Structures are given as structure tokens and as C-alpha cells.
Amino acid sequence: GMTRTGYVLPRWDPRDVAVEYDAAGRAQGRPYDHPWASDGPYWNLRGNGGLLSTARDLFRWHRALAGTAVLTESAKRELFRPRVPTQDGESYAYGWDVKDGFAWHDGGNGWSLALLGRWARDGTVVFWVSNHASTALEDSALDLTRGMADRVRTMGEQ
């Protein structure tokens, strides 16, 4: 299971959680260094789905979504079905942006940025995270992710 995901449950070793940096390069601490309620993060993180995880756990989630142990094929079709048109021909599904068979979810807080992209057809997954977010990175995040996936596919064809 995903034993290294969440804010409260895992016992985070500080060596495993990156320090975040603002646009000027000043350290802002780790996500859990900021004030919390007695039972964990405040509702701004609970409500928006903010979490800490590891690349290994996020890959486990990708594999779970590729199979049927967590969701049936019908439920996955509903999860990733375009529901609300957004921009550039993209749509929003249940928690995922989707376009042309590609689904992604990103998140950040002004100091860090992460993106998980999945192509269900061929099983390609790309996950990356930065502990120094910037507007330029946010603006190019999707292109960066697609470029990495294209490179992975090209390497697989050789």
C-alpha cells in the first residue's frame, strides 16, 4: 500500500522531505514546519487535497489506477471522463485535467510544484517535483511533462 503518503500518518524523517524555497531563493522550511492544528494541517490543506508523498507511493497509485483492484474499468472511465471544458481544448474530469488520452494533476504552494501525468493507453507515467516553484516553471510544467513522456517513449522504442 501507500504507506508514505499523507501528513499525519507517516512518521516523516526530515531527510526525506525537501526544504521549499521562495522565488528569491530563501528557504521556507518543509511543508510540515508551518503552523498546524493539534490533529494535523488546517482545513486549507485538507480541503484542497494537499498531501506529502513519495515517488514510490505515487507510482503505486498509478499502478492501482492501471489495474482494477481499486476501481473497476467503469469507475475509471467515469473518473477520467471529460466533464468541464477548460482552456486549449482541455477538460476537467474528477480531480484530473484531461486531453487526448492524457490525464494529469498538479499542485503547488508558491514554493514547490509537482505534476503527475498518465497516459492510460500505453501506461506511460511521469511524475516530477520541484522545491523551488516559479511562474516560469508553472507556465511550462505541462510541456515539460509531455516532453519527458515523449523522451521515455522514444527510449522504449530503441
Q: What pLDDT is stored for residue 126 in this prediction? A: 95
Compute the Cα dihedral for 133, 138, 140, 143 and give only its sign.
positive
Beta strand 84-85 pairing with 91-92: antiparallel
CA distance 120 to 118: 6
- Exposed (0-12), middle (13-18) or buried (19+): which is 73, by Cβ within 10 Å? exposed
Q: What pLDDT is stored for residue 9 in this prediction? A: 62
Q: What pLDDT is stored for residue 47 in this prediction? A: 67
Q: What pLDDT is stored for residue 73 in this prediction? A: 96
Instruction: Supply the pTM of this predicted model.
Output: 0.85
Mean pLDDT, each 10-residue run in order, the chain (158 residues): 78 87 92 79 71 89 94 97 92 94 90 91 92 86 91 80
Q: How far is CA 149 from CA 9, 51, 116, in A?
A: 32, 24, 11
Question: Domain extents for the chain?
Answer: 54-157
